[in-house]
Structure 1
Amino acid sequence: MTTTANQRKVLAILAGGLVLGIGTAVTLAAWNDSEFANGTFTAGAFNLEGSATSAAAGWGEHAAAPGAALTFTLPLAGNLSPTDTVYAPFWVRLDSTTTSDATVTTSLESGTGANATNISYAVYALDEADACDGSATTNGTLLLSGSTLSASTAGATFDLAHGTGVAGAAQKVCFIATAGAGLTEGGAATGVWEFAAESN
């Protein structure tokens, strides 16, 4: 009788322990929660434009050669004699959609024609108030030069700032071309220059 009573107590304790074990498993259930984040990435805009007219007008796209036609001082540009020098202003700026500043490098794209070897040139960056004439060599910053329209020696680069909803400030540039002593009578020459803007 004592053995049976002890067995019942042991069975009752075991049964209680099993119930307790089941209850403990239920109370250990975990809560789950998540947090998400997202980022949207939109590319900015970048566009250089030029004007052969002025800092205030004549702006347009000239993304491929031969580009904008420069207006050199007249009447000499169409009637050069040896040692004549002519001048032409040009302006570049970042357009109103651009969202980054830029560094601009000037290079000679090509020089063609019978007198390409008889024309030397220089390109200067100027302040807007400075004239595009002989004073550019002292007032300006040399960007590029060449002893012919087939040669080039790099000078300085220049920076352009973008605007906010408006075009950035324009940079005035002055082209100077000089006819050499060996200028061929009646021969023409064409120079094409590139202003390459890189965002920074």
Structure 2
Amino acid sequence: MSQNTTSARPARSKKIRALLAGGLVLGVGAAITLANWNDSEFALGEFDSGSFNLEGSTDGSAYGEHPSTAAAPLSFSVDAANLSPGDVVSAPFAVRLDADTTYDAALRVRAAGTQGSVSGLTYRLTVQSAFGCDAAQAGTVLVAPGTALGSGASDAPLTLAAGSGGAAGAPVNVCFTVTAGSSLEQGQSGTATWEFAAESDS
């Protein structure tokens, strides 16, 4: 009997140790499965600027960019290179926002300066309902008659529409009318430049 009891104790002790060891393993496993879960969400903002470009035309159909160093030459109805007192000459011009422009704009016109001699020459600037210079279609007066070349500016801005659907915005058509006064001198020669300044609404 004593031998059986002695031999049974080590076997039972091994089983207890094995169970304890198993319990430790199970305990570690339970700690892992009870760890906190984590999840995240991220938001992305994309920011792009709009486009803004003014272009002009001297014939109402072909538009391009004309910086101060390459101003568009106006085509006057009468030879402006052979004026005498009393002559009146006119020339149309149109401006618009190109197809890629995404904002409407306020447009102002102002004299940008002269070169040479332009004494005795005055002008007026009017808005036309279509491209050209026709007294019957003249609308808003931007610069009053009798304004000396090299001076004057539009008081109120005009509205230019942005491009839409792949097409350029509607143009604003204007007409320059230049009058030669009695003080015009023989042999004088000069040029006048105007700036069309557009400012986006946004």
* TM-score normalised by L of structure 1: 0.75
In the alignment, what sits opposite 1:182? 183
User: How many angstroms does 1:193 deviate by?
Assistant: 0.2
1:20-59 per-residue CA deviation (whole Å, 9 max, x = no partner) reads xxxxxx9x975543322111111111100000012xx221
1:79 aligns with 2:82: yes
Question: For residue 116 of structure 2, what is the amino acid of its counterpart?
Answer: G
In the alignment, what sits opposite 1:151? 151
Contact 2:150 2:193 (C-alpha < 8 Å) held by counterparts = no
Q: How does 1:22-101 map to 2 (within 5 A)?
A: 31-54=37-60, 57-75=61-79, 77-101=80-104
Question: For residue 75 of structure 2, what is the amino acid of its counterpart?
Answer: T
Rounded Cα–Cα distance in structure 1 between residues aligned with 2:171 and 2:180: 29
Rounded Cα–Cα distance in structure 2 between residues aligned with 1:161 and 1:100: 7
The structure number with the bigger radius of gyration is: 2
User: How many angstroms does 1:124 deviate by?
Assistant: 1.2
1:112-159 per-residue CA deviation (whole Å, 9 max, x = no partner) reads 222x23211111111117x514446xx321223463223224333211
In the alignment, what sits opposite 2:139? 140
Rounded Cα–Cα distance in structure 1 between residues aligned with 2:70 and 2:196: 12
CA RMSD of aligned residues (A): 2.3
Rounded Cα–Cα distance in structure 1 between residues aligned with 2:139 and 2:69: 26
Between the aligned residues of both structures, percent identity stands at 45
Structure 1 gaps of 5+ residues are: 1-25
Structure 2 gaps of 5+ residues are: 1-31
User: How many angstroms does 1:189 deviate by?
Assistant: 2.0
Aligned residue pairs, count: 169
Rounded Cα–Cα distance in structure 2 between residues aligned with 1:187 and 1:39: 62
Q: Secondary structure at the match of 1:125?
A: strand
Contact 2:109 2:153 (C-alpha < 8 Å) held by counterparts = no
Question: For residue 34 of structure 1, what is the amino acid of its counterpart?
Answer: S
In the alignment, what sits opposite 2:199? 198
Contact 1:95 1:162 (C-alpha < 8 Å) held by counterparts = yes
Contact 1:141 1:156 (C-alpha < 8 Å) held by counterparts = no
Contact 1:87 1:133 (C-alpha < 8 Å) held by counterparts = no
User: How many angstroms does 1:195 deviate by?
Assistant: 0.4
1:113 aligns with 2:120: no
* TM-score normalised by L of structure 2: 0.75
Q: Secondary structure at the match of 1:154?
A: coil
